[in-house]
Amino acid sequence: MNEYAQTIKATKIALPAVVGLSVSKNISQLKSEYQSELTQSDSLISKYLAKPGIIDDTGMVKVAGCSGFFVTSDGYILTNRHVVCDAQAEYQMVWKDQKYPIRILTMDEKSDIAVLKCEIKNVPYLKLADSDKLELGQTVLAIGNALGEFQNTVSRGIVSGLSRELKTDDQEENNQKFYGMIQTDAAINPGNSGGPLIDLFGRAIGINAVTVLDVENIGFAIPINQTKTILKELLKGNW
């Protein structure tokens, strides 16, 4: 099978296991957080909240969208910690055009990994590859919900670098360092965070995590091997 046919096959294997994560906040919380912006009628936040249907009947507002993926048939989900770490927000899983409640089981700040649980059975899930065996130049696919709106977005690229170190912010108090990251030129857009980086067999080799702003074709994923110990302990009931 040639590479293009293998790409299509891998995509078909992986897509059913990829989920969206909807991030919402109560309008009163938003008013508290963005009081100064909301006093300006021309601010982006004011314009967003003025759109019809943005505030639902319970006063909740969707503020972001991101991605995750099933790793077991009984609803365990991998994603990034940074997309589910706001204690003031509410999170739901979006799968097959339906919303489901989820629980956050654990978050690891150092690795930026989070494990979620949805009480759902017999779901398709991704097998986990051995990310220690990745090769430079290997073809990979990034899957997620680009910008939190465009579901089932697939981008293709290669492994551009291995064992990269990365700082996420120039401000000392917010500086977070990551180690051992996979660098890829597959497009990782806002909303793709938490989705899988897969190989041509449809196996997860990483979790899409970070893109470098104002630079083309540089994105980073957390190697999937970093998740295996956490998942093993959770499935054994030791977490």
Q: Which pLDDT band holds residue 173 (cuts at 50, 70, 90)?
A: very low
Higher-confidence position of 187 and 54: 187
| Structure confidence by residue, pLDDT tens digits, 55-68 | 777 777 887 788 99
CB-based contacts of 237, cutoff 8 Å, min separation 6: none
With the C-alpha atoms ordered 147, 148, 149, 153, is the resulting torsion angle positive or negative?
A: positive
pLDDT at 239 over 80: no
The pLDDT, as a whole number, for residue 41 is 60
**b/e sequence 49-72, b meaning 16+ C-beta within 10 Å:** beeeeebeeeebbbbbbbbbbbbe
For each of the domains in the chain, give its residue range(s) and CATH number, in order of start.
16-117 (2.40.10.10), 127-230 (2.40.10.10)
Tell me what pLDDT residue 177 has: 75
Sheet strands (E) in the chain = 18-26, 60-70, 76-80, 90-95, 98-101, 103-108, 113-117, 139-146, 150-167, 177-184, 196-198, 204-211, 219-223
- Residue holding tokens 């019809």? 52
Count how many Cα atoms sit within 13 Å of the Cα of residue 85 in the half-sphere of its side chain: 13
Write out the catalytic residue numbers: 82, 112, 193
Contact by Cβ (8 Å): 105, 117: yes
Average pLDDT, the chain: 85
pTM of the model: 0.87
Cα–Cα distance for residue pair 5/139, rounded to 1 Å:
13
